[in-house]
C-alpha cells in the first residue's frame, strides 16, 4: 500500500530523465584506441599499465580478453605486438571469440599514434568508476531492502567499495622532475630554518626529546613502536595522541586489543592526576576529584579523537582509515597492534610471515597515499627473554624481515625495572626509568632517550616534568576534603547531570 503523502513518510524521487533512455557509461572507441596503441608502441604499454590495473576497466568483453592477454605477456617479460598478442589469445583459447586476427589488425589500424594513450587510459578509468558506482549502488539498494541486512554491515560494505574506487583513481600519478623536487627541498629547508625551537615539522610524538630527534612523526612515514607485553606501548602512544588532540589535530586509534572504554579511561589518567585504579576499580572518596573529572569531561569531549575497537582485518582497517581521513581529516593514525591483525585475502598456501609482509607493505603504501604518519605497535619475540641483556634489537621483531624493511622508523620501549634490572647511570642521571630506543630511522639518526613511566597512572612523561607533576598531585590531594554522607550523584550535583550507570554521555 502506498504511504499517505500527508504523513510525509515517503517522497517519490524526481527524475528529469527517462531511466529507460539512460546509457551505461562507456567509450568503446577509446578502448580500441588504447589497445591499438599498446600493440604498436612500447611506450604506450608502460603508460597504460601504470593507470589501468585490471581488464575489468574495459566495457566490451572482447577488449577485456585482449587487455588480459597483453597483461599476461607483460608479466612474463615477453614482447608485445600484433603477432604475440594473437599467439597469446590463441593459447588462451579465445582468439576466435575476440574476432580473430582480422579484429586485432583493425584495432592497430584505428590509431595512428600513441601520443595520447595516457589521457585515453584515464578517461577509461572514469567510465569504469561510473559503472562501478552504478553496480555498487544497485547492490547497496538491494541489501537495504533486505530486512535481514545488518545496518552496520551495510555501511561498512558501502564504505569499503567506495574507498576501493578512490584507491583505483589514485594510480598512475604524474612524475616529479629533478627541478620540481629541488624547489620542494628548498621550500622545506626555508620552513625548517624559520621555525621556532619548539616547533616541529611533523605531528607530535608526545615527548620533547623525541620530537627533537625526529622533528615529530613525519608525513607518509610508517612508524613501528615495539616492546614486550607490559612495557607500556599503548600508554606511550596515548600520550602522543593526547598531545595532538589538545592542539586540535585529529587522530584515529584502531585497537585490536583494548575496548574504546579502556583506551579513553587511560587517556583520562594520562591527562589528569588520577591513578588508573581509581578510574577502573576503587572510584573516588573526595569531592574535589569529582570536580576535576567533570572538568576533564568538558575539555576532552571536544578533542578530535576517533576510536575503532572492532576492525582487525586489513581491508577493514584500510577502509576505516580512508573514511576517517576523508570525513574527519585525521592527521595521524595509531594501530594497536600488528600481531592481532589479519589478511583474509592471502591464499591458503601463504604463511604468517607473508601475511605480516602484506599488512606492513599495505599500511606503508596507505601512509604514503594519504600523506599521514601511521604508527603501528608490535610485539617482540620471546627470544629476548632468554638473553642476559634484555635491551631490544631489530632482530627481536617478530616476523622481523618485512617489518624492518617497510618501516621508516623502528623504536623500542625498554624498562629495566620490569626485569628487576637497575637502570644505567646515564638513565638515572636524567631522572628517567625507561629507554626509548630509535633503532631504525630512515631519514635521521639513531638515538636513545630517557622517559619516565609512572606505573600507578600507566603514564609516560618527560623526566623534567616529573617534579612538577608530583607537586600538582600533592596540591590536589591536600585540597581535596573527604565527603561524608555524600553520594557520588550528589557530588556531581550542580554540574548539569547526575552519575548514572546507564548514562551514555559519559565517555568513561
DSSP string, 117-146: HHHHHHHHHHHHHHHHHHHHHHHHHHHHH-
Cis peptide before 470 (omega within 30 of 0): no
Which residues have a Cβ under 8 Å from the Cβ of 94 and sit 6 or more positions away? 65
- Rounded Cα distance, 114 and 456, in Å: 68
Q: Which residues of 274-289 are buried (b: 16+ CB within 10 A; e: fewer)?
A: bbbebbeeeebebbbb
Question: Could you tell me the three cell numbers for 227?
Answer: 616492546
Domains assigned to the chain: 28-169 (1.10.860.10), 207-491 (3.40.50.300)
Q: How high is the pLDDT of residue 409?
A: 93
Q: Where in the sequence numbering do the catalytic residues fall?
A: 257
Given a contact cutoff of 8 angstroms between Cβ atoms, the answer to whether 74 and 45 are in contact is: yes
CA distances from 250 to 90, 255, 324, 326, 370 (A): 55, 16, 9, 12, 14
Q: How many CB atoms lie within 10 A of CB 230?
A: 8
Q: How high is the pLDDT of residue 1?
A: 41
Q: How high is the pLDDT of residue 478?
A: 64
Which residue stretches of the chain have pLDDT < 50?
1-15, 17, 483-486, 491, 494-508
Q: How high is the pLDDT of residue 377?
A: 94
Q: How high is the pLDDT of residue 252?
A: 94
- The runs of H, that is alpha helices, within 301-381 are 314-328, 352-370
Q: How many CB atoms lie within 10 A of CB 89?
A: 26
- Rounded Cα distance, 61 and 251, in Å: 45
Given a contact cutoff of 8 angstroms between Cβ atoms, the answer to whether 410 and 380 are in contact is: no
Q: How high is the pLDDT of residue 199?
A: 63
Q: How high is the pLDDT of residue 506?
A: 34
User: How high does pLDDT run on average in the chain?
Assistant: 80
Question: Could you tell me the three cell numbers for 469?
Answer: 607533576
Q: How high is the pLDDT of residue 373?
A: 95
Amino acid at each position: 500500500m502506498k504511504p499517505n503523502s500527508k504523513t510525509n513518510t515517503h517522497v517519490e524521487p524526481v527524475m528529469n530523465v527517462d531511466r529507460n533512455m539512460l546509457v551505461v557509461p562507456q567509450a568503446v572507441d577509446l578502448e580500441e584506441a588504447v589497445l591499438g596503441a599498446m600493440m604498436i608502441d612500447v611506450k604506450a604499454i608502460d603508460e597504460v599499465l601504470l593507470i589501468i590495473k585490471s581488464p575489468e576497466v574495459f566495457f566490451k568483453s572482447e577488449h577485456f580478453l585482449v587487455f588480459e592477454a597483453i597483461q599476461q605477456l607483460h608479466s612474463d617479460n615477453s614482447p608485445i605486438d600484433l603477432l604475440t598478442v594473437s599467439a597469446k589469445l590463441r593459447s588462451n583459447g579465445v582468439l576466435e571469440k575476440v574476432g580473430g586476427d582480422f579484429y586485432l589488425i583493425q584495432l592497430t589500424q584505428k590509431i595512428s599514434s600513441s601520443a595520447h594513450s595516457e589521457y585515453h587510459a584515464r578517461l577509461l578509468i572514469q567510465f569504469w568508476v561510473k559503472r562501478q558506482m552504478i553496480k555498487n549502488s544497485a547492490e547497496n539498494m538491494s541489501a537495504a531492502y533486505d530486512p535481514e541486512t545488518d545496518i552496520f554491515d551495510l555501511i561498512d560494505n558501502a564504505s569499503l567499495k567506495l574507498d576501493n574506487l578512490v584507491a583505483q583513481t589514485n594510480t598512475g600519478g604524474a612524475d616529479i622532475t629533478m627541478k620540481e623536487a629541488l624547489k620542494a627541498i628548498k621550500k622545506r629547508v626555508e620552513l625548517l630554518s624559520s621555525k621556532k625551537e619548539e616547533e616541529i615539522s611533523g605531528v607530535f610524538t608526545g615527548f620533547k626529546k623525541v620530537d627533537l630527534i625526529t622533528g615529530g612523526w613525519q608525513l607518509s612515514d610508517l612508524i613501528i613502536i615495539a616492546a614486550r607485553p607490559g612495557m607500556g606501548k599503548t600508554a606511550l602512544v596515548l600520550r602522543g595522541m593526547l598531545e595532538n588532540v589538545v592542539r586540535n589535530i585529529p587522530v584515529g586509534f584502531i585497537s585490536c586489543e583494548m575496548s574504546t572504554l579502556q583506551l579513553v579511561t587511560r587517556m583520562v589518567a594520562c591527562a589528569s592526576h588520577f591513578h588508573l585504579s581509581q578510574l577502573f576499580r576503587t572510584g573516588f572518596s573526595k569531592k574535589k576529584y569529582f570536580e576535576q573529572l567533570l572538568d576533564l569531561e568538558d575539555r576532552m569531549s571536544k578533542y578530535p579523537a576517533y576510536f575503532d575497537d572492532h576492525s582487525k582485518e586489513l581491508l577493514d582497517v584500510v577502509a576505516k582509515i580512508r573514511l576517517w581521513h576523508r570525513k574527519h581529516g585525521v592527521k595521524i593514525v595509531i594501530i594497536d597492534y600488528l600481531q592481532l591483525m589479519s589478511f583474509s585475502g592471502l591464499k591458503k598456501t601463504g604463511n604468517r610471515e607473508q601475511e605480516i609482509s602484506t599488512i606492513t607493505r599495505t599500511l606503508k603504501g596507505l601512509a604514503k597515499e594519504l600523506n599521514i604518519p601511521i604508527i603501528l605497535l608490535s610485539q617482540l619475540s620471546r627470544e629476548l627473554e632468554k638473553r642476559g641483556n634484555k635491551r631490544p634489537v631489530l632482530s627481536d621483531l617478530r616476523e622481523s624481515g618485512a617489518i624492518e624493511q617497510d618501516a621508516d622508523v623502528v623504536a623500542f620501549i625498554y624498562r629495566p625495572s620490569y626485569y628487576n634490572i637497575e637502570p644505567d647511570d646515564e638513565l638515572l642521571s636524567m631522572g628517567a626509568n625507561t629507554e626509548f630506543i630509535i633503532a631504525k630511522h630512515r631519514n635521521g639518526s639513531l638515538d636513545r632517550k630517557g622517559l619516565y613511566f609512572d606505573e600507578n597512572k600507566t603514564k609516560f612523561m618527560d623526566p623534567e616534568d616529573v617534579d612538577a607533576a608530583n607537586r600538582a598531585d600533592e596540591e590536589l590531594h591536600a585540597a581535596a576534603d573527604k565527603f561524608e554522607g555524600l553520594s557520588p550523584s550528589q557530588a556531581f550535583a550542580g554540574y548539569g547531570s547526575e552519575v548514572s550507570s546507564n548514562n551514555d554521555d559519559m565517555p568513561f
